[in-house]
Amino acid sequence: MKPTRYGQVAERILNLINNGVLKAGEKIPSIRQLSRELNVSINTVKEAYWKLERQNYIFAMPQSGFYVQKQSSDTPAKEEIDPSRLDPQEVSLCHIYGAFQNMGQCTPEVSLGIATLNPEFWPTQKMGRYFQEVIRYQEKESYNYIMSPGYSQLREQIARLGLSSGLDLSPDEIIITNGCHEAVFLALMVLCKPGDSVVFESPMYFNLLQLLEQLNLKIIELPSSQIEGVNLDTLGFVIENYPIKAMFSIPNVNNPLGFSMPIWKKKKLVELLTENNISLIEDDIYGDLCFETRDETCKSFDAEGNVILCSSFSKTLAPGLRVGWIVPGKYYDQVIKMKTLLNISTASINQIVVARYLKEGGYERHLRKLRKDLKKQVSGLRACILKYFPKGTKVTNPSGGFLLWAELPESIDTDVIYQEAVKENILFAPGSLFAMKDKYSNCMRLNAGIWNEQVERAIKHIGRLCVNYQKKTVNKIVKIAS
């Protein structure tokens, strides 16, 4: 039997209630409003509401309207996803964070998994004031498209900042993106086609693995030292024996190892790749967070337009701004075409506000304080790991940023430790996320962007889990041997 028109309307409202869009006690659209939105008669909506009222899903309040009825406790509740049951190798840490947010938490109680700063470091007051002023005085620009390559004054400020990293850029070489991740995506889309091979440092930034999988690209992982990155002789051998299309690198404050590649090596890397007509995608998102002097980029040694530089303000200002940029070199026309096809532009108001902050807000002063604070936090977290983790644990000593890579005794499986830690609302990134093959299972990456007593207690708890796991493993070996 074909459902009635009012029955279809009632079903749509009921779906919104069951899915949690309309919550108990919340007012639902008025009869006239829903009539207009669904293009049905007022009587149809009335019949639908009366049906839902009879079924005790909504109730009428005189002179006010209809509201969602609170359901009895025996009504099946919407099933929540338990973050502790999600495997980061299968769904990614971003999905796991989303599960926490669906449970009403902004982030896990102790956020050691994703590279992010303590919100206290965000220049929210000054940025908030700029948002208000921009909306008031630049209303049309704020709400309209700013087409690629992006807001001219923002590109001018980025070009000015490039001087500290050895760059001599024109604003016309820069394209604004939605964060650094989009910049990397655009570079890969322009450079590669399905089946092409791309060289990556290993361990590698885990969020790129799923992107590469979606693009059907082949990955060649080159081991990186914790001091200066990949071995150039090994890279040369790979180039001679495989058809390499591009290389991805984080040469300044590497994620996750924290090293900064020496200047001589950056020069030789650019020369080697250029000689073999291989493009370099350089991720410099942590470059402004070097603890000492700001290191040069590989792009600063590029005379052929062969290096594509990607970066953003997510790690220095605030991640939610999603203001990044790409310097595509000789691939400029292809990248700007791809950016326009992908999403037309980056949020206009965010571009204008960031440009104003860079010009007037004291970005250099903000960076000086941020670097100092992060250096202290990294030192504190590092000491805490060495204190509480099992004997034999090795921890990187990064040149900047706020990420630490811990290598535990080989008998410890950090995937198992992760599953136990997340039950206590503690999230870290297990080492297995950072490689395509079965590697780094005894490693983990930890975020020092937030450091307080609660984080120290969490590190102590993770350390205790590791020690207990190690003891159980030893006991099993002893039992088998006897």
Residue 277 has pLDDT above 90, yes or no: yes
Domain ranges of the chain: 5-68, 85-114+365-481, 124-361
Could you give the CA distance from residue 403 to residue 385 in angstroms, rounded to a whole number?
13
Query: What are the structure tokens assigned to 213, written together?
Result: 């999988």
Give the mean pLDDT of the chain: 90
Range in 109-123, 314-328, 330-344, 368-382 with the lowest mean pLDDT? 109-123
Instruction: Say if strands 65-68 and 58-61 run parallel, antiparallel, or are unpaired.
Output: antiparallel
Say whether pLDDT at 481 is over 60. no
Q: How confident is the model at residue 136 (pLDDT cuts 50, 70, 90)?
A: very high
| CATH class as words, domain 5-68 | mainly alpha
Max Cα distance, the chain (Å): 82
d(CA 174, CA 326): 6
Range in 282-291, 394-403, 434-443, 450-459 the model is least confident about: 434-443
Q: Do domains 5-68 and 124-361 have the same CATH topology?
A: no
| Per-residue pLDDT at 99 | 55
Residue 135: left (phi > 0), alpha (psi -120 to 50), or beta?
A: alpha
Q: What is the dihedral of CA 372, 373, 375, 380, to 10 degrees?
A: 150
- Checking if the pLDDT of 97 tops 70, the result is no
Class of the domain covering 85-114+365-481 = alpha beta
Q: Tens of pLDDT along 352-394?
A: 999 999 999 899 999 999 999 999 999 999 999 999 999 999 9
Task: Report, in this order, helix, strand and coil percent for the chain, each rounded to 5.
Answer: 50, 15, 35
pLDDT tens-digit readout, 225-238:
999 999 999 999 99
Contact yes or no for 278/239 (Cβ under 8 A) = yes
Q: Compute the distance between CA of residue 313 and CA of residue 318 in angstroms, rounded to an integer.
A: 7
Are 310 and 183 in contact by the 8 Å Cβ rule? The answer is yes
Q: What are phi and psi of 418, to 5 degrees?
A: -60, -45
Peptide bond into 256 cis (omega under 30): yes
CATH number assigned to the domain covering 124-361: 3.40.640.10
Give the highest mean pLDDT range of 44-48, 76-80, 433-437, 440-444: 440-444
Q: Is the pLDDT of residue 206 over 70?
A: yes
